[in-house]
Amino acid sequence: MFEVIGERINTTFKKVKAAVIDRDGAYIQDDVQKQEASGATYIDVNAGARIGHEKEDMEWLLKVVQEATTLPLCLDSPDPEVLEMAYSMVNTTPMVNSISLEKDRFEAMMPFLKGKECKIIALCMDDSGMPKTVDDIVNRAKSIVGELEAIGFKRQNIYVDPLIQPMSVDGNNGMMAMDAVKAIMTELEGVHTTGGLSNISYGLPQRKIINRIFLAMMMKQGFDSAIMDPLDNEIMAVVKTADMLKGNDNFCMNFLKGVRAGTIKA
């Protein structure tokens, strides 16, 4: 089944940042419960927007979020110290967002990850910058998966992010992402793929329709997870319908439940 990493508890969003500053737990918990009800698999928690306050904000958010849901969390920070604190607080096995091949980030994250029981998002990024070809993405994926396997990670706990880039920047970016996902899922059997879905539509009008169609096309190539907004009913309808059409929904039960609930409709 496709996994939805709910992206909404992120202090780069104005309303979330204001709620964190005001310590408005009710706002955060209401959003989390709506994400869960809409079908989120993980709740991403990112407190990085307030420079100098990330650790205390993350600690507060984790307490508040876990009072509202039993869903596993995606701990989203580039700072191993913040992640170490966050890891000690979670009630269920978390996902960690993220590691890359960039030297500074790689060297800081690997000691933190070694021996941890978690899932990990692995970015296809290195010190040469964003990937420019499918081969760039796949070679980086192989390298970082190999490094993670070397410290004990199983492939089923590795989520490779091919780094979806905007169509507004280069008209080849959509096909590059799709071809890369297909290759990763074929050549690195057992791993997952994920990524920030809405990156594809950045800078263009009618972003939601772009995101929906792109998601269906990516799922056809094996894309099995995304960092996205579960409160977008239309895109969640795409997730459930595409999962059904791929044979991942026994007797079409999730699809039929969505139809009966009115969340999947023409």
pLDDT class of 96 with cuts at 50, 70, 90: very high
Q: Residue 37 belongs to a domain with what CATH number? A: 3.20.20.20
How many domains is the chain partitioned into structurally?
1
CA-CA distance, 34 to 49, in Å (whole number)? 23
**pLDDT of 155 over the 90 cut:** yes
Q: Which two tokens stand for residue 70?
A: 């039993």
* Position 255 confidence tier, pLDDT thresholds 50, 70, 90: very high
Largest CA distance in the chain: 51
Indicate whether 108 belongs to any domain. yes
- Residue 160: strand, helix, or coil: strand
Characterize 234-243 residue by residue with b for buried, 16 or more Cβ atoms within 10 angstroms of its Cβ, and e for exposed. ebbbbbbbbb
Mean pLDDT of the chain: 97
Q: Please tell me the number of Cα atoms within 13 Å of 172 on its side-chain side.
A: 7
Residue at 59 is within a domain: yes
pTM higher than the cut 0.75: yes
Q: What value, to the nearest 5°, has the Cα angle with vertex 241 and ends 236 and 244?
A: 130
Buried b (16+ CB within 10 A) or exposed e, 145-183: bebbeeeebeeebbbbbbbbbbbeeeeebbebbbbbbbb
Let me know if residue 178 belongs to a domain: yes
Please report the pLDDT score of residue 24 as a whole number. 98
Mean pLDDT of the region 88-98:
97
In a domain, 266, yes or no: no
- Among candidates 147, 32, 45, 26, which has minimal Cα distance to 96? 45
- Domain assignment of residue 145, given as a range: 3-261
Six token digits for residue 241: 């319908």
Decide if pLDDT at 266 tops 90: no
